[in-house]
Amino acid sequence: MLAVNPGKTPISLLQEYGTRIGNTPVYDLLKAEGQAHQPNFTFRVSVGEISCTGQGPSKKAAKHKAAEAALKMMKGGLGGPSNTLTTRLPAAPIIQG
């Protein structure tokens, strides 16, 4: 599904994958806090049904972390509390015996 390419950033890999599946990633700045010399940014990336967040000392670093989390989730490694899968699954039928 997703090939590992050490020459590309998670942002570019996610962009390529999103383009292939018809859902380009959308990045939203959630928070910008801290002092001017020590900022902290939080971004959310959404690709189809997947939504992940990332934090970093720059906007680029926060986007990078969010894209990295989304790629991990797409590969099947739900790794961390900041990742949320927004897919709704139908309830399992109740079988009475």
pLDDT tens, residue by residue, 38-53? 999 999 999 999 999 9
Q: Tens of pLDDT along 7-30?
A: 899 999 999 999 998 999 999 999
- Structure confidence at residue 85 (pLDDT): 41
Q: How confident is the model at residue 90 (pLDDT cuts 50, 70, 90)?
A: very low
Cβ-contact 45, 26 below 8 angstroms:
yes
Domain enclosing residue 46, as ranges: 26-85
Position 19 in a domain? no
Domain count of the fold of the chain: 1
Taking the model in full, what pTM does it have?
Answer: 0.73
Position 97 in a domain? no
Position 7 in a domain? no
Q: Which of 1, 5, 19, 23 has the alpha carbon at shortest distance from 73? A: 1
User: Any idea what the CATH number is for the domain that residue 42 is in?
Assistant: 3.30.160.20
* Separation of alpha carbons 51 and 7, rounded Å: 24
